[in-house]
């Protein structure tokens, strides 16, 4: 009789344990889903995209050009650009010198490389337009974004990506 009573008690405890384990699992899964939703909302607010970093790495690998296949084109003159007003009542300017890296192995190189010097004033105009869209503080914080925008404008102008990099040789913000 004692063995039978012990078996019933063990069965009751196992059943209670199973019910409590189920309750804990359902409450944990629900909390986990809420946590995931919260993290997704925060990432959306901060505009963090997990896939964008992988895409940027792939794009960087595609545009890498060997040094022996690269040429630098310098815009000879330094440009002074009026920056967008930032509300402090002062005029701000950027004094910058821009250079471009060109892929000499690109199919469009022979066609468009001689045009760089001929279209230099148009390129300067595009640079002034891009740089002039920023306030002094925005320009200081977004130098690489400005370089990317300049590159995009030049590639759009020539309808080719034989120019694969734009960068400031010198930039002073005042």
pLDDT of amino acid 66: 82
Residue 99 pairs in a beta bridge with 74, 167
- pLDDT of the residue at 38: 84
Question: What is the per-residue pLDDT for 32?
Answer: 82
Give yes or no for a contact between 90 and 163, defined as CB atoms under 8 angstroms apart.
no
pLDDT digits (tens, 9 = 90+) for 124-161: 999 999 999 998 888 888 899 999 999 999 989 888 88
Q: What is the pTM of this model?
A: 0.63
Residue with the bigger pLDDT between 5 and 49: it is 5
pLDDT one-digit tens code per residue, 87-134: 888 899 999 999 999 988 888 888 888 888 888 889 999 999 999 999
pLDDT value for 51: 47
Rounded Cα–Cα distance for residues 45 and 31 (Å): 21
Mean pLDDT on 67-88: 87
Long-range pairs for 124-128: beta carbons < 8 A, 24 or more residues apart:
124/75, 124/77, 124/79, 126/150, 126/153, 126/154, 126/157, 127/75, 127/79, 127/81, 127/96, 127/98, 127/153, 128/79, 128/81
Q: In angstroms, how far is the first alpha carbon of the chain from the final one?
A: 95
Q: Which two tokens stand for residue 10?
A: 């063990």
Residue 75: pLDDT above 70? yes
């Amino acid at each position: 009789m004692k063995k039978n009573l012990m078996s019933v008690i063990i069965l009751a405890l196992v059943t209670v344990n199973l019910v409590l384990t189920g309750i804990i699992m359902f409450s944990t899964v629900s909390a986990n889903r809420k946590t995931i939703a919260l993290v997704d909302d925060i990432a959306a607010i901060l505009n963090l995209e997990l896939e964008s970093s992988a895409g940027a790495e792939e794009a960087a690998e595609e545009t890498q050009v060997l040094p022996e296949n690269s040429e630098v084109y310098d815009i000879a003159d330094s440009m002074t650009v009026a920056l967008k007003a930032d509300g402090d009542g002062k005029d701000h300017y950027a004094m910058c010198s821009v250079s471009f890296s060109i892929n000499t192995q690109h199919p469009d190189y022979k066609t468009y490389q001689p045009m760089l010097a001929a279209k230099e004033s148009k390129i300067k105009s595009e640079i002034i337009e891009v740089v002039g869209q920023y306030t002094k503080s925005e320009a200081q914080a977004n130098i690489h974004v400005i370089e990317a925008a300049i590159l995009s404008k030049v590639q759009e102008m020539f309808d080719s990506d034989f120019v694969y990099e734009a960068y400031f040789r010198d930039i002073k913000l005042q």
